[in-house]
């Protein structure tokens, strides 16, 4: 039965363009195989088409040779690599949806067919499960229940699926290195294209902020900090040319965007590198500071008085007032609740904060990952989310301290730097959805892979002892 449904799905794969239609058909095949009539009629209509009939016949032959499982095992990392490579270019696209849902289906087929060692074993699984259960428990108390149900799937379960796909299909030294290069390349290619498009094609002045597309600075920082480790690990200067290009491209894009939280993230990430590469990291830091001082428009962006009189203080104080009213389960996991008048009257909460901050007005989101998590899932939800982060940091420190292999130590330090950079950015921006969340879960997955492949393998329970 498994073989029949796998064949049918793969044949359809080439002739259906909408990824969610694939998922719907796949769910029907897996969950209601004995329904009979509807699927049988669909199969008969498809069979009348000779082209599709040929595809089914080819799939049968493919399966007879027992190559289908090998194809799926190789397809998942390729699909995920394509997905990650495309994340900075588009927020939503059919290709990305195809990559994700096909990878999920292939992973299910491989697991049920006992052709894969797919496992949910991870030091972060406990935190994921508790946070997910808490979000579900809060549904009856959510102010916008339909949106909360949707976002638990779209902005939690889906990202967890991405995490486990990366962990299970890139779980070797070679594949982990490939993964780091994919993320480095994604940021580098995008930065080169973006700078060229914004300044050369659109003809903007060099002093103009490069902020045509929001949130892309998360991939700049991630790629930059990965490239730093690639640069340090290469012993020959000729081999350092490619990481150097990546560093220059991503740093240029970050400086031209004049995004303060991204620059702070790079500085904090380099501070983590200082634990091992003191002189080189300090040199890079000083170079960045000097470049910032001479970057057009930077004086206005980094003016001290402007930084002190910032709307973020008003946002944070307003968020605290909301949390006081919804301390346990929050306002609901849905992201279309905060800032929507029919659910939350932000103006009334703004009136509760000190008057000297009220002139900034209301902003439709908390602009802080921890504040956003707290207001949507309550104080307990925030605690569970922090538990995941603490487990991640502890994983890194355990491997850096106990591992004898330089590969483990170097990449453990790198992933801690990436996490520090992301954390700094997320404190001053929305980071619970889209590209930002994918970057976050990819960072979590990379450290988990390192934890799994450490020689001798650390005890999974040692993390909590």
User: For the segment 249-287, what is each residue's pLDDT rounded down to a tens digit?
Assistant: 999 999 888 888 898 999 999 999 988 887 777 777 787
In this prediction, residue 10 has a pLDDT band, given cuts at 50, 70 and 90, of very low
In this prediction, residue 305 has a pLDDT band, given cuts at 50, 70 and 90, of low
- Please spell the DSSP secondary structure of 153-220, one letter per residue: IIIIIHHHHHHHHHHHHS-SHHHHHHHHHHHHHHHHHHHHHHHIIIIIIS---TTS---SSTTTHHHH
- How open is the CA angle 419-421-427, to the nearest 5 degrees? 100
Closest to 421 (Cα-Cα) out of 229, 236, 239, 291: 229
Q: Average pLDDT, whole number, for the chain?
A: 83
DSSP letter, residue 203: -
Nearest-angstrom CA–CA distance, 378 and 328: 5
Q: Which of 32-41, 146-155, 203-212 has the lowest mean pLDDT?
A: 32-41
pTM for this model (two decimals): 0.84
Name the phi and psi angles at 152, rounded to 5: -60, -40
Query: Average pLDDT of 371-383?
Result: 96
Query: Average pLDDT of 371-375?
Result: 95
Q: What is the pLDDT of residue 301?
A: 59
Looking at the predicted structure, is the pLDDT value of residue 367 above 70? yes
- For 179-198, the pLDDT digits (tens) are 999 999 999 999 999 999 99
Which positions ≥6 away from 413 have C-beta within 8 Å? 229, 272, 273, 275, 276, 396, 400
Which positions ≥6 away from 21 have C-beta within 8 Å? none
- For 417-456, the pLDDT digits (tens) are 999 999 999 999 889 999 999 999 999 999 999 999 975 5
In this prediction, residue 350 has a pLDDT band, given cuts at 50, 70 and 90, of confident
Q: Which of 48-62, 215-229, 250-264 has maximum average pLDDT?
A: 215-229
Q: What is the pLDDT of residue 331?
A: 96
């Amino acid at each position: 039965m498994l073989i029949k449904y796998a064949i049918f799905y793969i044949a359809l794969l080439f002739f259906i363009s909408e990824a969610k239609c694939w998922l719907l058909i796949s769910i029907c095949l897996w969950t209601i195989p004995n329904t009979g009539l509807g699927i049988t009629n669909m199969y008969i209509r498809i069979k009348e088409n000779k082209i599709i009939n040929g595809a089914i016949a080819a799939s049968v032959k493919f399966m007879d040779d027992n190559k289908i499982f090998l194809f799926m095992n190789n397809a998942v990392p390729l699909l995920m690599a394509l997905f990650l490579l495309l994340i900075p270019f588009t927020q939503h696209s059919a290709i990305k949806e195809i990559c994700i849902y096909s990878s999920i289906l292939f992973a299910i087929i491989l697991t049920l067919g006992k052709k894969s060692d797919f496992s949910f074993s991870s030091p972060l699984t406990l935190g994921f499960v508790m946070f997910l259960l808490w979000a579900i428990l809060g549904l009856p108390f959510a102010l916008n229940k339909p949106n909360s149900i949707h976002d638990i799937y779209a902005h939690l379960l889906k990202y967890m699926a991405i995490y486990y796909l990366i962990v299970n299909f890139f779980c070797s030294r070679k594949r982990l290195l490939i993964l780091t290069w994919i993320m480095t390349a994604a940021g580098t290619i995008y930065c080169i294209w973006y700078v060229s498009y914004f300044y050369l094609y659109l003809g903007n002045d060099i002093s103009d902020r490069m902020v045509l597309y929001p949130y892309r600075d998360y991939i700049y920082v991630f790629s930059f900090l990965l490239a730093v480790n690639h640069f340090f690990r290469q012993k020959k200067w000729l081999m350092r040319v490619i990481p150097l290009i990546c560093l220059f491209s991503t740093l240029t894009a970050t400086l031209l965007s004049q995004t303060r939280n991204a620059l702070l993230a790079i500085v904090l990430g380099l501070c983590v590198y200082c634990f091992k590469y003191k002189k080189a990291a300090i040199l890079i830091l000083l170079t960045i500071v000097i470049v910032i001082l001479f970057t057009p428009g930077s004086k206005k962006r980094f003016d001290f008085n402007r930084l002190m009189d910032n709307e973020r203080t008003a946002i944070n104080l307003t968020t605290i007032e909301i949390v006081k009213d919804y301390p346990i389960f929050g306002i609901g996991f849905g992201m279309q609740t905060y800032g929507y008048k029919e659910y939350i009257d932000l103006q009334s909460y703004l009136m509760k904060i000190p008057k000297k901050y009220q002139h900034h007005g209301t902003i439709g989101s908390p602009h802080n990952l921890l504040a956003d998590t707290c207001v949507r899932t309550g104080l307990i939800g925030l605690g569970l989310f922090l538990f995941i982060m603490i487990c991640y940091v502890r994983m890194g420190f355990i491997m850096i301290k106990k591992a004898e292999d330089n590969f483990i130590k170097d990449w453990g330090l790198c992933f801690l730097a990436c996490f520090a950079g992301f954390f700094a950015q997320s404190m001053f921006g929305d980071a619970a959805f889209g590209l930002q969340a994918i970057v976050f879960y990819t960072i979590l997955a990379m450290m988990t892979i390192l934890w799994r492949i450490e020689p001798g393998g650390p005890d999974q329970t040692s993390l909590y002892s």
